[in-house]
Amino acid sequence: MHSWFGALISEELLKSKVSLRFVTSIIDGLKKLYAQKLKPLEVNYRVNDFVSPLLSNNDFDAKPMVMLLGQYATGKTTFIKYLFRTNYPGAHVGHEPTMDRFVAVMVCYYPFFTFEQ
């Protein structure tokens, strides 16, 4: 069988799956798959020397972060307001460029916003 990259995949590789009875959550499953399948390849080819360090359990347990970039008037602020279903301080939508600062919006038990010039 051929893979997405065009290389031949052995039937043994296709049958070697992580059993669902050993996975307690999606994150746990991703950790196990990484440790069993990807990490040995990264160590063998020394990926951490020229790309990025090897992943640790903290990398899987951390909350995801998203950064929106784009030209003005492309809907970045509108998208954030849609996600939070509310307006946030410093949100300014206009036809002219409003890129004089950046805003870090964090979700926690209470609203928290950071403004930087």
Q: What is the DSSP string of the chain?
A: -B-TTS-B--HHHHH----GGG-SSHHHHHHHHIIIIIHHHHHHTTHHHHT-PPP-HHHHHSPP-------TTSSHHHHHHHHHTS--TT----SS---S-EEEEE-SSS-EEEEE-
Q: Between these two residues, 114 and 27, which has the higher pLDDT value?
A: 27
The reported pTM is: 0.49
Q: What mean pLDDT comes out for the span 102-113?
A: 66
**Mean of all residue pLDDT scores within the chain:** 76
Model confidence band, residue 14 (pLDDT cutoffs 50, 70, 90):
low
Q: What is the pLDDT of residue 10?
A: 59
pLDDT score for 42? 93
Pairwise pLDDT comparison (87 vs 15), residue with the higher score: 87
